[in-house]
Structure 1
């Protein structure tokens, strides 16, 4: 077929088609009167604050200085395991840097980071919190909060200030509990319960 034949064929097929005279827009009318259901949903949305799933508290903490050492372990963590953590002998599988964050930003990031570590099966991580040496009062604010927050998270087994080459008292090694998937894999490999 030539282009002239194609055009004639097209016009023959389209002979019964008529142009739409109205504009191609939907007519939406805003209800003048709000229904009782609408008013109730609106009131509920304003009255019910969003529930914060983050269990980390942001109230008063014991102030720590740049040179204070963080050290904590949950009962049941073996001394040899904690010693290896303290000496930085576990490979660092992830890192979180809290520098230049507000307390509220850090609170959200720490909670999210630990949850992500459990999800991905990471066991040994580092959190860089800074020493707070530039603060006029000498208080290491994020470090102080981190020392309070980490024990509040059930997935944290232990933490300790890092070795000098990893940031010293401005960072903390964190040991994280095994996730359910890792526990199941261990049972399969070692034939446990």
Structure 2
């Protein structure tokens, strides 16, 4: 009976052709590195990560002196609010000290600081930038860059050089936008919808 089964099997398989070699998967081919692989590998190691910091880099900045006063307010900021900021009458929720930082490091720190302040619903902060008196050329580099960066940030509503007891022209008060939660709480507190 086994012989009949064998004959029947060969009869049924008689017109079957074996698979061609090209129809087989070649797993060894995946191990070879192509020039594209090499380029992507080198790029992944050497390319900088994407910087979402939109603050102006170091070019085209008007250099300020140590005694120049920083001042800015967006349209719509009430005069009384700005005056209270200017006079240092708001409680300071956070501070950032830029002393002895390079311009590039300060750029990253200011961006991160303002972002973090918004995340935690902080309203009034102070940034200590120094006057630049220790620089050999007496240029207030950080102050000059800060004067350019702060208006570029949509969450910064106003800023002004600090009062003498907070650092004078070597520091700046910054008023930040109210968060949505704070605005809603204010509406509820005053009976507005």
Q: Into which bin does the TM-score normalised by the smaller protein fall?
A: 0.7 to 0.9
2:153 corresponds to: 153
Aligned length: 163
**Aligned partners of 1:184, 1:36: CA distance in 2, in Å?**
57
Correspondence 1:80 to 2:101: no
TM-align CA RMSD: 2.3
2:174 corresponds to: 174
2:62 corresponds to: 62
Over 3 Å counting, the alpha-carbon distance change for 1:41 and 1:66 in structure 2 is same
Query: How far apart are residue 51 of structure 1 and its match?
Result: 2.1
Deviations 1:95-137 (A, max 9, x none): 0000000000000000010011111111011000000012222
Matches within 5 A, 1:20-99: 32-34=31-33, 38=37, 41-42=40-41, 45=44, 49-58=48-57, 59-99=59-99
**Aligned partners of 2:48, 2:134: CA distance in 1, in Å?**
37
Query: How far apart are residue 36 of structure 1 and its match?
Result: 8.2
Larger Rg: 2
**Aligned partners of 2:133, 2:36: CA distance in 1, in Å?**
56
Over 3 Å counting, the alpha-carbon distance change for 1:60 and 1:90 in structure 2 is same
Query: How far apart are residue 39 of structure 1 and its match?
Result: 5.2
Structure 2: gaps (5+ residues) = 1-29
The 3-state SS of whatever aligns with 2:82 is helix
TM-score by length of 2: 0.76
Structure 1: gaps (5+ residues) = 1-30
**Aligned partners of 1:49, 1:96: CA distance in 2, in Å?**
26
Deviations 1:151-188 (A, max 9, x none): 00000000000000000000000000011222232334
Query: How far apart are residue 52 of structure 1 and its match?
Result: 1.2
